[in-house]
Amino acid sequence: MTAHPAPVQNLDLGGITLTFVPDGEFRAEPQVAYPHGHEHIVGEGLDLVDENGMLVLSVGAVLLRSGDRRVLIDAGIGARNIPLVRPGTTHDAYMRGGALLQNLRALGVEPGQIDAVLLTHLHADHVGWLGDERGSSVPTFANAEYWVTEEEWSFWAKPENGGDPVGPRRHELDIIDSRRRPLTAGSQPLDGVFAVPTTGHTPGHVAFSIEGTEGRALVVGDAVHCPAEIVHPELVWVGDHDAPHAVRTRVEIARRLAEEGVTLVAPHFPDSVFRRGS
Ligand SMILES: [Zn+2]
């Protein structure tokens, strides 16, 4: 079996529906993504790599529909390709997007109907559709507010953190700041949706607990990148800002998945972004 980017998928929690909206894909050599422990990616039957042995991750956003609300969790990478080439890489490694808006429209949702974007963190593959590729400050989601933690915002707003190829671009920061709403632990940006701090991957990373009448889900952003990090929470992703903290966060998420009957929504997982605990 080989891995593929996940397709459009739905999860009905009762009164709240989550839909994974694909934007593109990510491919990288396992030993680049996980400098230590990459044998867990290829050797344990988890079906995480393609025919060339490259780790495959999905890239996209989660659409949340509840009553007349239309909310996105994260905003994809945009119509762009970010090369992830390292010395010694033998196959093409990249993050690539472009399909988010057409997939949203196929679901019957126009960008102007999105009334909030909840941001797990501000890496490039989570804010890419907020603006356009010309770098203008005209927002794609013209009626949206942007929810982000103060820790995440202040880190990326520092001039010395500008220019990071996997960080947000200037126009994306400007768009967020024009209608920015603060997220803190327990913030409830809409009914049944709660912010859960999941620091480590970035300084202010946050997950979202979604509580419907028939089930609960935890949208984890990049607190967990691929299923191997649930089996081995001690795995450190190459891009984790604070590795020990990221590991503590993953251990807690793995516990909640196993013990609390919550459905994990991990938008980078290949093939299916939804996982039920055992
Ligand atoms: Zn990401």
Name residue 262's amino acid.
V
Question: Is 1 a domain residue?
Answer: no
Question: Is 16 a domain residue?
Answer: yes
Cβ-count burial of 59 within 10 angstroms (0-12 exposed, 13-18 middle, 19+ buried)?
A: buried
pLDDT at 88 over 90: no
CA of residue 15 to ligand 1 center, whole Å: 28
CA of residue 126 to ligand 1 center, whole Å: 6
Question: Is 3 a domain residue?
Answer: no
CA of residue 123 to ligand 1 center, whole Å: 6
Report the mean per-residue pLDDT for the chain.
95
Residue 278's pLDDT is what?
Answer: 54
Question: Is 131 a domain residue?
Answer: yes
CA of residue 261 to ligand 1 center, whole Å: 25
- Taking alpha carbons only, the member of 70, 91, 56 closest to residue 226 is 56
Question: Is 158 a domain residue?
Answer: yes
pLDDT band at 129 (very low <50, low <70, confident <90, very high): very high
pLDDT band at 90 (very low <50, low <70, confident <90, very high): confident
Question: Is 121 a domain residue?
Answer: yes
Cβ atoms of residues 95 and 24 within 8 Å? yes
CA of residue 21 to ligand 1 center, whole Å: 14
Question: Is 34 a domain residue?
Answer: yes
Question: Is 4 a domain residue?
Answer: no
Convert the pLDDT of each residue in 195-239 to its tens digit. Answer: 999 999 999 999 999 999 999 999 999 999 999 999 999 999 999
Higher-scoring residue by pLDDT: 270, 41: 270
Residue 23 domain boundaries: 9-276
CA of residue 266 to ligand 1 center, whole Å: 10
Number of structural domains the chain divides into:
1
CA of residue 14 to ligand 1 center, whole Å: 28
CA of residue 120 to ligand 1 center, whole Å: 9
| Length reported for the chain | 278
* Residues 138, 129: Cα–Cα separation, whole Å: 11
* Residues 208, 193: Cα–Cα separation, whole Å: 6
263-265/94-96 β-pairing: unpaired
How many CB atoms are located within 10 Å of the residue 81 CB? 14
Residue 169's pLDDT is what?
Answer: 96
Cβ atoms of residues 270 and 27 within 8 Å? no
CA of residue 247 to ligand 1 center, whole Å: 16
How many CB atoms are located within 10 Å of the residue 208 CB? 27
* Residues 191, 155: Cα–Cα separation, whole Å: 28
Convert the pLDDT of each residue in 31-46 to its tens digit. Answer: 989 989 888 888 778 8
CA of residue 225 to ligand 1 center, whole Å: 8
CATH code for the domain in which residue 232 is found: 3.60.15.10
Residue 95's pLDDT is what?
Answer: 95
The structure's pTM equals 0.96
